[in-house]
Structure 1
Amino acid sequence: MEKYIIIIFLIAIISSPIFFTLFIEKVEVPVIYQLTHINLNNITIYYKPKFLVIDYSKDGSKENEFSFSEIQGLNEKGIITLAYLSIGEAEDYRYYWQNKWYDDPPGWLDGENPNWPGNYKVKYWDNEWKEIIFNYLDKIISQGFKGVYLDLVDTYVYWAERGYDKEITASEMIKFVIEIAKYARKKEPAFLIVPQNAENILEYDYNNEYLNTISGIGVESLFYKGENKRSKKYIFNRLKYILTIKNSDKFVLVTDYIYDPGNPNEEKIFDFINLCNKYGFYGYPANKNRKLNDISKALKYFKNEVKK
């Protein structure tokens, strides 16, 4: 009888998901960036990212917000968790959206982004919009995220192209990012502030307050636009700002959308990885569809010795 009990016990152990994960070799990767269809177990079972950029919710909705224990579990694994937060556009699938805005938008809400349905440009200097963002930030802080990943900082260019003084739109965005940092750091002094793109806003950062405030920067499509290599001139023009940030003791996260699941180009993937290593950047070779709705299978290439 005891023999059968032991056999049943062993079968139960072997069948357990926990037992299965003991034999999976986690791939150490610089960064994972995913905004929808997020399954934290799929991330932590197969990967060990240094940085993880995700939405505050599994699908963007209030109903599926991540709990404090879920985010804290990631932090305890040594993962630096950053919550995505768009500060230059309002999104109609967020908790703060009011349906009446479709027909009667507030004065700070502009037209829909034709490239991203459901996203609307905002006058980010408006106090009503700032209060929405500070409320959103409270949620993120309460969840235990280590910082925020601020998207659409480059909205200052959008408004400059529509008749506003670029000097003013840039200074208002710099002011807003600094306000976000001060608000968050009153509650969490070590809170990370990571803008995405808009590195050339440094041209308007006359007293280096923006540079001294941010913790790092995330950039997209730096070395490749899709599967096509960027020109040396393009890369150089962006690097002069990005390296200024890095050399100020900040980190740089790079997402290039180069992975084609149906026809992966290993040479380009390894070239991207090598370029990130060359400059000391943390790279993510994302899927070419730019949707960030899954984990790029290109992460497997980090298991191999990078080709020279």
Structure 2
Amino acid sequence: MATLTVTEDELQKIGHVLLNSENSLAERFRALFTLMNINGPDAVKIICEGFKDSSELLKHELAFCLGQMQDLTALPTLEEVLEDKNQPIIVRHEAGEAIGALGQMESLPLLNKYLDHESKVLKQTCELAVMRIKHVHSNQLGSDSPFSSVDPAPAFNKDKTCKELKDILLDPEQTLFDRYRAMFSLRNISTPEAIDALVKGLDCDDSALFRHEIAYVLGQMADKHAIEGLSEKLKDMSDDPMVRHECAEALGAVDDPRCKEILSKHLTDNDLIVKQSCEIALDMNECETQHQFQYADTLEKIRIS
């Protein structure tokens, strides 16, 4: 990931926006993604300070960004977060996924400790992280992400049809790693048929982790064809909050006025992480629908203030 050139003073000001709990969560998210774009050890250090915060949603996103930044100076903090029983599972899960994204063989002993964890989400996250690291170091090929993202599993090479990928995606007898590979392959295909397959995957009842990742992928695609499926899952109060929250954020990425209406209805949701995700998603959606130049605009705001 490329880095932006900033002064030390600018970096600290962005960090203050992120770490000040009196700021709105929307402002803090924009600062976080600004720091992710700046990248480098100094930005990583500021982001790592955020794990003292009380917001599960923010800490989850901190871990996600650290994995995407690919800076190994984040690894000790991510390991601490994964092992911290006082952190919510959704935060520890994202730390485990980020460790997998950093791809270090030295991380395997720690991840292996969680392969029989009582939390299915944490167990499956660490299974995927182990498999990703082994895959990275095995010199096996996979398709690159057209979204410039570091994915928990590589897409298959382009030798499978949409139907074949859908069959793998929906088959609970397949390994979760291969189902993830099918999911990212369908994302890369990005046809209405592929989106329909992914939306069908939102009803897989064997893994909340998998459903949440499908919602994330649909958010990456930001296609109007997925709005109905994401909306129905967001409304499903019986599903895991980590799934519903990801559906909210996915809707925020779609340039369509219907998304604003859908998200607004959940601003009083009983689950805090879903409620806060809708707040963030509405801010993202405003950026999309008004065609603002970029969402991560904290550096720009500091420079013109």
TM-score range relative to shorter protein: 0.3 to 0.5
TM-score (norm 2): 0.40
Q: Which has the larger radius of gyration?
A: 1
Greater share of residues in strand: 1
Greater share of residues in helix: 2
TM-score (norm 1): 0.40
